[in-house]
Amino acid sequence: MAWLPFLCALVMGVAFVLYAHSTRRGKFAVWEELLDELELRGDERLLDLGCGRGAVLLAGARRVPEGRAVGVDLWRSADQTGNARSTTSRNAQAEGVQDRVELHTGDLRELPFGDGGFDVVLSSLAVHNIKDEEGRRRAVAEAVRVLRPGGRLVIADIGRSVSLYGGVLGASPVSGVGVRELGWRMWWGGPWMRTRMVTATRAAD
């Protein structure tokens, strides 16, 4: 059993490398691809749920030069290090997209927006931060509420949470619900902490 400590060290080392890659490069590359798949016209109104420091929000903003990229968050550092509205605002300025970025403080379970106001609703690794299942259900239902007919929803989150979101969407006024794995670039240490994505389109009224 002398090899056991070496095996444990190897597993921990691989897990650290995967986590570091996902945090620093992987998630950004994956979201660039997901946004490209949406084939945005450039004039859409886009909402990022739990936008944090703005990685997905700003990538979306670059694709809507004639539109609007709106981010909403509670700005809690417990959810993400350095998570503050001022940080996201500075990042938008650094990216040169501050003219089309709008930031709001709000709870994902009760979004501060009217019905059908967005062409695209995105969320990356945010909804699972809501501790109770009913709260996560409400957040997904709210995402659907603020989508216009024909609008598209993309939620990426950790593991089993996505099955819950798919169930909520199955009972919502949406079509084309799909779930897929996002691959090793968004493994948070290994396949036991992988990211999956659920997508849907808001049905016509």
Measured CA to CA, the distance from residue 198 to residue 105 in angstroms comes to 25
Judge whether 156 lies within some domain.
yes
Judge whether 8 lies within some domain.
no
Supply the CATH number for residue 31's domain: 3.40.50.150
Measured CA to CA, the distance from residue 87 to residue 83 in angstroms comes to 7
- How many domains is the chain built from? 1
Judge whether 56 lies within some domain.
yes
Span 135-188, pLDDT tens digits = 999 999 999 999 999 999 999 999 778 999 999 999 999 999 999 999 888 877
Judge whether 168 lies within some domain.
yes
Task: Answer with the residue of higher pLDDT: 117 or 7.
Answer: 117
Measured CA to CA, the distance from residue 108 to residue 72 in angstroms comes to 8
Q: By mean pLDDT, which of 14-18, 65-69, 75-79, 200-204 is the weakest?
A: 14-18
Residue 43: band (very low, low, confident or very high) from pLDDT cuts 50, 70, 90? very high
**Coil, helix or strand at residue 179:** strand
Helix axes 85-95 and 55-62, enclosed angle (nearest 10): 30
Judge whether 181 lies within some domain.
yes
- The mean pLDDT value of the chain amounts to 89
The reported pLDDT for the residue numbered 76 is 84
What number is the average pLDDT over the span 5-28? 60
Judge whether 141 lies within some domain.
yes
| Spatial contact of 197 and 182, defined as CB atoms under 8 Å apart | yes
Judge whether 1 lies within some domain.
no
Measured CA to CA, the distance from residue 83 to residue 27 in angstroms comes to 17
DSSP per-residue string spanning 129-149: GS-SHHHHHHHHHHHHHTEEE
Judge whether 185 lies within some domain.
yes
Task: Answer with the residue of higher pLDDT: 127 or 28.
Answer: 127
The pairing of strands 147-158 and 195-202 is antiparallel
Q: Residue 35 sits in which domain range?
A: 13-202
Measured CA to CA, the distance from residue 51 to residue 84 in angstroms comes to 10
